[in-house]
Amino acid sequence: MSTRFSAALREATWAEHERAESAGFMRGLLAGDLPSGAYADLTAQHYFAYRVLEQAAESMRGDPVAGPFVFDELTRLPALERDLHHLLGDDWADRIRPNTATQRYCARLQEVCFTWPGGFIAHSYTRYLGDLSGGQAIRGTVERTFGLTDGVGAEFYRFPGIPRPREFKDDYRGRLDGAPWSPDEQGRVIDEVLEAYRHNTDVLVELGEVHGSGT
C-alpha cells in the first residue's frame, strides 16, 4: 500500500472531524452568536486540556519517536493564561473549573500521553493541526464578536512562531509519514485520534448544554 500514513489518518478520522466541527457550540461561536462568558468557558476548558498535553510534551521531548513532534512554537499554555486573565480578571484561576467532559479528556491525556509516544502524537495532532486549520477561521470571528483588538484575549489562536501554517502542517504530516510504526501501531494511533476527536466533541456538547447553544 502506497497511501501515505498522514492521508490514511485523515481519511479514517474525517467523519469524527465533521462531528466536532458541527457541534452546536462551534457553529454558534463561528456565527458570532455566543456570549462572552461562553467564550471564556471554552478558553478555560482548553486551558485544562493543554496543561496536561504540554506537560506530556515536556516529558516526551527526548523520546526518539515523539520528540520530533514537540515544537515550542506550538505551546499554547502561556497564551491561554493571558487570555483568561484578560477575559476573567486577576482571579481567573479561581473562577474556572473543568467540565465533566474535560475531566474525562484530561484523564485520557494523562493515561496515554506520558508513556506512549503514539498516544502523545495522536492527541497533539488532533489539537494543534486543528488549531492551525479551523482555529484560524475561528480567530477572526472571535476577535470581531468580542471586540478583542490586537488579538488580546484571543492569543490562543495566534501562532507568531508559525508564519506559514500550511508549510508547518505539511512538515508535520511528513513526520507522521516517517514515524517508525508497524501497521498495527498505525492502527492504534488512528484509534487514539478517533478517541481524541470524541473527547473534543464531548467537551463542545457539554459547553453547548451549559450555555444553551445547542448540541
The verdict on 17 binding ligand HEM (CB under 6 A) reads yes
Taking the complex as a whole, the smallest distance from the CB of residue 160 to ligand HEM amounts, in Å, to 19
Q: For the window 139-178, what string marks contact with ligand HEM as x by the rule CB under 6 A? A: ------------------------------x---------
The verdict on 21 binding ligand HEM (CB under 6 A) reads yes
> Does 85 show up as a binding residue in the annotation?
no
How far apart CA 34 and CA 38 sit, in angstroms, is: 6
Binders of ligand HEM in range 74-133 (CB under 6 A): 125-127, 129-130, 133
Residues 6 or more apart in contact with residue 137 via CB below 8 angstroms: 30
The verdict on 4 binding ligand HEM (CB under 6 A) reads no
Q: Which three cell numbers stand for residue 16?
A: 469524527
The verdict on 31 binding ligand HEM (CB under 6 A) reads no
Q: Are the CB atoms for 153 and 146 separated by under 8 Å?
A: yes
The verdict on 214 binding ligand HEM (CB under 6 A) reads no
Taking the complex as a whole, the smallest distance from the CB of residue 129 to ligand HEM amounts, in Å, to 4
As a dihedral over the C-alpha atoms of residue 196, residue 191, residue 6, residue 166, rounded to 10 degrees, the angle is -10
Q: Residues 125-155, buried b or exposed e (16+ Cβ, 10 A)? A: bbbbbbbbeebeebbebbbebbebeebebbb
The verdict on 134 binding ligand HEM (CB under 6 A) reads yes
Q: Are the CB atoms for 80 and 43 separated by under 8 Å?
A: yes
Chain positions contacting ligand HEM, by CB under 6 A? 10, 17, 20-21, 26, 30, 125-127, 129-130, 133-134, 137-138, 169, 197, 200
